Amino acid sequence: MPRAHRYTQIQRAVRQHGAAPYRFQQILEAVFRRGVLQFSAMQALPGRLRQALAQQFGDHLLSLAPAQVSRAAQAEKYLFTLNDGRRIEAVAMRYRAGWRSYCLSTQAGCGFGCRFCATAAMRLQRNLSADEICDQALYFRALGQPLDSISFMGMGEALANPNLLTALECLTDPALFALSPRRLTVSTIGLVPAMRQLTQAQPQVNLTFSLHSPFNEQRSQLIPLNRKYPIEEVFDALDEHIARTHRKVYIAYLLLEGVNDSRQHAAALAALLQARGRQTRLFHVNLLRHNANDFAAERFARPSEAHIRQFRNWLEQAGLKVTVRSSFGDEIQAACGQLHASVPEVRMS
- Asked if the model's pLDDT at residue 325 lies above 90, the reply is no
| pLDDT for the residue numbered 327 | 74
Active-site annotation holder among 240, 305, 336, 345:
336
pLDDT band, very low/low/confident/very high, at 346 (cuts 50, 70, 90): very low
Would residue 29 show up in a list of annotated catalytic residues for this protein? no
pLDDT more than 70, % of the chain: 94
| pLDDT for the residue numbered 343 | 53
- Asked if the model's pLDDT at residue 344 lies above 70, the reply is no
How far is Cα 174 from Cα 170, in angstroms, rounded to an integer? 9
How far is Cα 38 from Cα 31, in angstroms, rounded to an integer? 9
Q: Pick the range with the lowest mean pLDDT from 32-36, 207-211, 322-326, 336-340.
A: 336-340
| pLDDT for the residue numbered 335 | 54
Q: Compute how many other C-beta atoms are within 10 angstroms of the C-beta atom of residue 245.
A: 17
Question: What domains lie within the chain, and their CATH numbers?
Answer: 6-57 (1.10.150.530), 68-332 (3.20.20.70)
- Asked if the model's pLDDT at residue 334 lies above 80, the reply is no
- Asked if the model's pLDDT at residue 171 lies above 80, the reply is yes
Q: What is the mean pLDDT of residues 78-87?
A: 95
How far is Cα 239 from Cα 337, in angstroms, rounded to an integer? 27
Q: Compute how many other C-beta atoms are within 10 angstroms of the C-beta atom of residue 166.
A: 21
Would residue 89 show up in a list of annotated catalytic residues for this protein? yes
- Asked if the model's pLDDT at residue 96 lies above 90, the reply is no
| pLDDT for the residue numbered 74 | 83
pLDDT band, very low/low/confident/very high, at 99 (cuts 50, 70, 90): confident
Active-site annotation holder among 29, 76, 89, 305:
89
Cβ neighbors of 288 (< 8 A, separation 6 or more) are 252, 253, 254, 255, 325, 327, 336
| pLDDT for the residue numbered 295 | 81
| pLDDT for the residue numbered 347 | 41
Q: Compute how many other C-beta atoms are within 10 angstroms of the C-beta atom of residue 70.
A: 17
Beta bridge partners, 285, equal 251, 322
335 or 302, greater pLDDT: 302
Q: Compute how many other C-beta atoms are within 10 angstroms of the C-beta atom of residue 293.
A: 21
How far is Cα 154 from Cα 104, in angstroms, rounded to an integer? 5
Of 238, 285, 284, which Cα lies nearest the Cα of 265? Answer: 285
